[in-house]
Chains A and B, each alone.
Chain A
Amino acid sequence: EVQLVESGGGLVKPGGSLRLSCAASGFTFSNAWMTWVRQAPGKGLEWVGLIKSRTDGGTTDYAAPVKGRFTISRDDSRNTVYLEMHSLKTEDTAVYYCMNLYFGYWGLGTVVTVSS
């Protein structure tokens, strides 16, 4: 059974940092391109960024609002993808999901609240 389990969310002050993890199981993670998507309260889905598989270069892409502040990385030995978030703003408050588009796999999400 495929599972994506996010963790690491929580309450953080503006300007703070947080690292989210997404642990994958049930599929060949090393071949998968992994994406982070977020949904702010009352808003639609927002693409955050992507990391390609190592065989496809392992490169990353980011949405403009997070570029330079967020970093996506992966550890194929742990079947885990990470989202490192710095200089957090109140507008980063959202449910953060990891997903694999090709297979349509989504995690249940983890809540990040940026508030003083």
Chain B
Amino acid sequence: DIQMTQSPSSLSASVGDRVTITCRASQGISNNLAWFQHTPGKVPKLLFFAASTLQSGVPSRFSGSGSGTDFTLTISSLQPEDVATYYCQNYNSAPRTFGQGTKVEIK
């Protein structure tokens, strides 16, 4: 089974900081990776499909990259509304596992 490993598991950064979250697959999944943002009390929100395809309505300060086994989610300038837990998900093949999540907080 494919394992998805995110790092870090949590981070604290200042408003305006550049934030990077990485997601590593235990085997190649091409670009079949999604990123979700999960804010407490809300349903998860799809940020990226196909690793780097920004979904409609998602601010351009978010970017996604990667292919194969290594992927990155970057927030170019962290805003207070970005406080959330971020998850990557493999959808290349079953089991379509999520990473364990990265909790992002404001310092």
Residues of A within 8 A of B (CB): 35, 37, 44-47, 50, 61-64, 97, 99, 101-102, 104, 106-109
Contact = CB atoms under 8 A, between A and B. Distances in A.
A87 B53 CA distance: 40
B45 A104 contact: yes
A44 B6 CA distance: 12
B89 A47 contact: yes
A54 B32 CA distance: 22
Contacts, number: 52
Given A44-B101, A62-B94, 9 more contacts: A35-B96, A47-B95, A47-B96, A50-B96, A61-B94, A101-B49, A104-B55, A106-B45, A107-B43
A97 B89 CA distance: 15
A70 B34 CA distance: 25
A97 B95 contact: no
B84 interface: no
Interface of B: 1, 34, 36, 38, 43-46, 49, 55, 85, 87, 89, 91, 94-101
A101 B85 contact: no
A106 B43 CA distance: 7
A108 B85 contact: no
Contacts of A99: 44
A106 B96 CA distance: 16
A62 B94 CA distance: 7
B9 to A, nearest CB: 10
A20 to B, nearest CB: 16
Given A50-B94, A63-B95, A45 B38 contact: yes
29 contacts: A35-B96, A44-B98, A44-B101, A45-B36, A45-B87, A46-B98, A47-B96, A47-B97, A47-B98, A50-B94, A50-B96, A61-B94, A62-B94, A62-B95, A63-B95, A64-B95, A97-B44, A99-B44, A101-B34, A101-B46, A101-B49, A101-B89, A101-B91, A104-B46, A104-B55, A106-B43, A106-B44, A107-B43, A109-B43
